[in-house]
């Protein structure tokens, strides 16, 4: 292929992007299958527990404490489900799932497909950059492409350190939706940078903003699962005295039993969100430095600036909430969720529909 022909390069970029989307879709399916399997594994264990409880009524007295590893019906004694207040004082971050869940082939397939899709996505983004002969994040289409690439990159890097593969459906799903909207609604042909965007700050400011968005996306996912998990834990605590079957049927998302406790999820979400917050603070500052160079003022309450500020304040609120009595746990999780909603709003709605100086959507 002729790598010097921008039009050709751009069409290869599009092919690569569409292939990436197809592979992400497959990965999404694999992750979804994994969640379904987790649910049925939980069912199997609980059914076995019931049998056991029937056989030995004494075991039914402490059902929450009984758990088994997936794939076997061997019941082992484990410590009781940790109520947040009773949780240990250490900062250990192991997977403290109520029902540990063994190795899963669909999970591994999901990750492998995600890595493949990510590679295609990366190739698409790089080719777009070469086709345009500049950084590939100068309009909505490119920003979506690079932003989702970074969300995925952050996810894959975090996977190396913590086993968050259970978020695979969410992350691949989110990226698929965003890429779909980008390719169908925001697509624009390669165009040179208008003078207003010719700045080193485009590279820094927008890149860091995307990176922060990647963090916030993961934080959002963790906070959401945290809320669901917390609900489940409450059910289990309340249902400890009730017959086991009632508890099981009150819970829809049974796979939650195989995921870390809400306290662990909250800590993970916090760690990821504070990184996002630091990056966002930098984005805001870099933005005002750039605004000073381009428009002669560092802050003018332009719509985009307003929303960047709102997001910053919401996440500052989130960090505070975590240190405020009565706001830890679910309430602060809601703030993280609202924060990410604002991030998406800022990207999807403010860019396109609000009037302002940041008219870079390219539409």
Partner 1 sequence: MAALSRPSDHIDSRPQTPQAGVVQPKLGVTGWLRWFWRQLTSMRTALFLLLMLAIASIPGSLVPQRTSDPNGVTQYFSDHPDLAPILDKLQAFDVYTSAWFSSIYLLLFISLIGCVIPRTKHHFQALRAKPPTTPARLARLSGFTTRDAPAQTDAATAITHARTVLKSSGYRVARFDSDTESSVSAERGYLRETGNLVFHAALVGVLVTVGFGGGYGFAGQRVLVEGQTFVNTLLAYDSFNPGRFFDDTTLDPYTLSLDDFSVSYEQRNLQAYGQPIDFTADVTVTPKGETSEPGVVKVNGPLRTNGTNIYLLGNGYAPTITVTAPDGTVVFSDSVPFLPQDANLTSLGIVKVPDGLAEQLGMIGFFYPTQDKMDTGANFSSYPDLEYPLLTLNVYTGDLGLDDGVPTSVYALTTDDLTQQTGGTTGVDSIELKPGASAELPNGLGAVSFVDTNPTASATGDFTQSVPRFASFDIHHDPTQIWLISFSALVLFGLFTGLLVPRRRVWVKATTRADGSVHLEYAGLARGDDPALEAAVTAVADRHLKLLKTHQPAVATPESPPKR
**Residue 80 interacts with partner 1 (CB under 8 A)?**
no
- Give the residue, chosen from 71, 79, 102, 192, that forms a contact with partner 1 under the rule CB under 8 A: 192
- 115 or 316, CB closer to ligand HEM? 316
Token pair for 84: 């947040």
Q: Given CA atoms 133, 128, 192, 208 in this order, what sign does their dihedral have?
A: negative
Residue 251 beta carbon to partner 1: minimum distance, rounded to whole angstroms: 23
Residue 116 makes CB contacts below 8 A (sequence gap 6+) with 23
Phi, psi angle pair for 299, to nearest 5°: -150, 125
Residue 328 beta carbon to partner 1: minimum distance, rounded to whole angstroms: 6
Question: CA 311, CA 326: separation in Å to the nearest integer?
Answer: 22
* Length, in residues, of the chain: 363
- 50 or 319, CB closer to ligand HEM? 319
- 22 or 313, CB closer to partner 1? 313
**68 bridge partner residues:** 75
- Give the residue, chosen from 27, 124, 263, 336, that forms a contact with partner 1 under the rule CB under 8 A: 263
Phi, psi angle pair for 147, to nearest 5°: -60, -45
Question: CA 307, CA 350: separation in Å to the nearest integer?
Answer: 8
Residue 134 beta carbon to partner 1: minimum distance, rounded to whole angstroms: 11
One character per residue 283-322, x = contact with partner 1 (rule: CB under 8 A): --x---xx-xxxxxxxxxxxx--xx-xx--xx-xx-xxxx
Question: CA 155, CA 293: separation in Å to the nearest integer?
Answer: 34
Identify what 29 binds: ligand HEM, partner 1, none; CB under 5 to 8 Å per kind: none
- Give the CB-nearest residue to ligand HEM: 323
Token pair for 149: 């690439």
Residue 183 makes CB contacts below 8 A (sequence gap 6+) with 14, 17, 18, 21, 141
Computed over its alpha carbons, how large is the radius of gyration of the chain? 23
| Number of Cβ within a 10 Å radius of residue 280 | 25
Asked if 38 and 254 touch (Cβ cutoff 8 Å), the reply is yes
Identify what 327 binds: partner 1, ligand HEM, none; CB under 5 to 8 Å per kind: partner 1
Identify what 191 binds: ligand HEM, partner 1, none; CB under 5 to 8 Å per kind: partner 1
Residue 284 makes CB contacts below 8 A (sequence gap 6+) with 308, 309, 312
Instruction: Give the CA distances from residue 9 to residues 28, 53, 144, 304, in Å, rounded to whole numbers and listed in that order.
Output: 28, 65, 19, 32
Residue 222 beta carbon to partner 1: minimum distance, rounded to whole angstroms: 14
- Give the residue, chosen from 79, 194, 243, 245, that forms a contact with partner 1 under the rule CB under 8 A: 194
Judged by CB under 8 A, the chain residues 200 through 219 that form the site for partner 1 are 201
Residue 349 beta carbon to partner 1: minimum distance, rounded to whole angstroms: 10
Total binding residues toward partner 1, as defined by CB under 8 A: 71
What is the contact surface with ligand HEM in residues (CB under 6 A)? Answer: 316, 319-320, 322-323
Piece in contact with partner 1 (CB under 8 A), picked from 41-49, 97-105, 210-218, 348-356 = 348-356
**Residue 95 interacts with partner 1 (CB under 8 A)?**
no
Piece in contact with partner 1 (CB under 8 A), picked from 46-54, 140-148, 239-247, 260-268 = 260-268
Residue 222 beta carbon to ligand HEM: minimum distance, rounded to whole angstroms: 17
Question: CA 332, CA 237: separation in Å to the nearest integer?
Answer: 22
Piece in contact with partner 1 (CB under 8 A), picked from 36-44, 47-55, 80-88, 217-225 = 80-88
Burial class (CB in 10 A: 0-12, 13-18, 19+), 258: buried
Identify what 235 binds: ligand HEM, partner 1, none; CB under 5 to 8 Å per kind: none
**Residue 189 interacts with partner 1 (CB under 8 A)?**
yes
Identify what 85 binds: partner 1, ligand HEM, none; CB under 5 to 8 Å per kind: partner 1
Which candidate, 166, 183, 171, 176, places its Cα nearest to that of 214? Answer: 171
Q: Given CA atoms 177, 180, 186, 188 in this order, what sign does their dihedral have?
A: positive
Residue 187 beta carbon to partner 1: minimum distance, rounded to whole angstroms: 12
């Amino acid at each position: 292929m002729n790598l010097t022909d921008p039009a050709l390069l751009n069409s290869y970029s599009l092919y690569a992007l569409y292939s990436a989307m197809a592979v992400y879709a497959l990965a999404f399916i694999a992750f979804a299958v994994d969640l379904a399997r987790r649910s049925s594994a939980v069912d199997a264990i609980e059914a076995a527990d019931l049998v056991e409880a029937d056989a030995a009524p004494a075991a039914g007295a402490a059902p929450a404490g009984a758990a088994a590893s997936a794939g076997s019906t061997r019941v082992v004694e484990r410590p009781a489900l940790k109520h947040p207040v009773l949780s240990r004082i250490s900062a250990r971050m192991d997977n403290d799932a109520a029902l540990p869940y063994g190795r899963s082939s669909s999970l591994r397939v999901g990750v492998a497909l995600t890595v493949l899709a990510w590679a295609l996505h990366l190739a698409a983004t790089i080719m777009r950059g070469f086709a345009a002969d500049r950084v590939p994040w100068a309009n909505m289409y490119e920003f979506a492409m690079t932003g989702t690439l970074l969300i995925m990159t952050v996810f894959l890097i975090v996977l190396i350190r913590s086993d968050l593969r259970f978020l695979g459906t969410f992350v691949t799903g989110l990226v698929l939706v965003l890429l779909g909207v980008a390719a169908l609604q925001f697509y624009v042909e390669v165009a040179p940078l208008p003078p207003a965007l010719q700045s080193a700050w485009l590279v820094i400011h927008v890149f860091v903003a995307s990176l922060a968005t990647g963090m916030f996306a993961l934080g959002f996912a963790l906070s959401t699962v945290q809320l669901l998990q917390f609900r489940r834990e409450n059910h289990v605590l309340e249902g400890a005295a009730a017959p086991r079957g009632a508890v099981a049927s009150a819970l829809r998302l049974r796979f939650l039993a195989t995921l870390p406790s809400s306290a662990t999820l909250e800590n993970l979400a916090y760690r990821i969100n504070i990184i996002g917050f630091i990056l966002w603070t930098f984005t805001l500052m870099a933005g005002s430095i750039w605004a000073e160079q381009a428009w002669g003022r560092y802050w003018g309450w332009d719509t985009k600036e307003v929303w960047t500020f709102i997001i910053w304040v919401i996440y500052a609120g989130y960090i505070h909430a975590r240190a405020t009595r009565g706001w830890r746990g679910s309430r602060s999780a809601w703030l993280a969720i609202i924060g990410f909603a604002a991030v998406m709003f800022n990207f999807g709605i403010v860019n396109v529909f609000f009037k302002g100086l940041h008219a870079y959507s390219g539409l």
